[in-house]
Amino acid sequence: MARRRFAGPRGQLSCSDPHGYRPDPVGFGLVNNAGIFRFAGTVETDQATFDAHIDVNLRAPFLLVQALAPAMATRGRGAVINISSGAAAAPGFGTGIYGASKAALESLTRVWAAEFGSAGVRVNAVAAGPTRTEGTAAYGAAFQAAAKSVALQRLAEAEEIAGAVAFLASDAASYVNGTTLDAIGGLPAVG
């Protein structure tokens, strides 16, 4: 398993891939797709859970962009795609710190787009709706019910979110910068 460590001002971040891919520190793209979600109300969210959400959902992407975007800028091209969530914009019971960490990531997406855009580095985000993954499978029927909250009335497959990411990383999106692409299955009609 390839492993790479990036040092930042608040510590180290380790990246690994079971297929042996080694991130190129001056490569073309970065997808910040690591994330955690532990749902609880504000009163029930302890400091460790709060810190974990900030560390994984916000600090890790920050450290990776800090470490890799300058080399992309020197090269004159690059694409950063941050994985956000529909919870960043739509309040949900128990999603407070998760949604807040993703909203902050969307804010950084816009800041980084402005900061690195003139050097040819595009920074965008994909706000994923409820998606079937190994992590969400642990929530069972409660997560399956989330399908009813979107217009398509079904959960997304991970490959569908990957398609949105692939578009933003491609030349077809060469003039897209600083935006969040909603891959949330659509908003249901009200009324």
Q: Which residues are catalytic?
A: 98
**What's the angle, vertex CA 47, arms to CA 44 and CA 58, rounded to 5?**
110
> Nearest-CA neighbor of 100 among 48, 44, 58?
58
Contact 97, 50 (CB under 8 A): yes
Strand ranges across the sheet with 180-183: 29-32, 78-85, 121-128, 180-183
Contact 35, 87 (CB under 8 A): no
AA identity, residue 107: S
Q: Cβ contacts of residue 185 below 8 Å, gap of 6+? A: 129, 130, 150, 151, 152, 154, 156
Contact 16, 1 (CB under 8 A): yes
- Alpha carbon distance 164, 136 (integer Å): 19
- Residue 43: helix, strand or coil by DSSP? coil
